[in-house]
Amino acid sequence: MRYSKQREEILKIIRNTNVHPTADWVYEQVRKTIPNISLGTVYRNLNQLVAAELILSIKDNTVVRYDGNVNPHNHFKCLRCGNVYDVEIPENDFIPQINRIGAHRVTNVRLELEGICADCVQKEKLN
């Protein structure tokens, strides 16, 4: 993959946030430094970054979100506000158990947890 100023800026934006942004959010952020960039350019570069395994894509119903953390981790989605958070779960605790009970061999686990985030729980307490 050849160097691209636009791609480098998109990668920097995704790696410097933990909000798991959509392409539209990335587009709005990158326009602050590259005002004439098109949404198509953002989508094309996001797809190239995913293909190069420099970022992750996360399917969230009908929306695709992006994650700059490519290390193995899981996600928690708030059912109220829709935010997606990284969560660390010690996977080593249950992979050996699963491997013992079946013919399959589990090599990776990706959990998608759902519930109410701490911010929304706090808002409930205030109301």
Here the CATH number for the domain that contains residue 15 is 1.10.10.10
Q: Are residues 11 and 43 in the same domain?
A: yes
Mean pLDDT of the chain: 90
Q: Are residues 61 and 14 in the same domain?
A: yes
Domain that holds residue 20: 5-67
The domain tally of the chain equals: 2
Q: Are residues 51 and 99 in the same domain?
A: no
- Categorize the per-residue pLDDT at 33 as very low, low, confident or very high, splitting at 50, 70 and 90: very high
Q: Are residues 9 and 45 in the same domain?
A: yes
Q: Which residues contact 57 (CB under 8 A, 6 or more apart)?
A: 46, 50, 64, 65, 66, 67
Q: 3-class SS at 40?
A: helix
pLDDT tens across 82-121, in order? Answer: 889 998 877 666 777 788 887 778 877 777 899 999 999 9
- Residue 116, judged by CB atoms within 10 A of its CB (0-12, 13-18, 19+), counts as middle
In the predicted structure, residue 49 carries a pLDDT above the cut 90: yes
Output the domain CATH number for residue 84.
3.30.1490.190
The more confidently predicted of residues 107 and 124 is 124
Which range, of 6-10, 47-51, 105-109, averages the lowest pLDDT?
105-109
Neighbours of 38 (CB within 10 A): 12
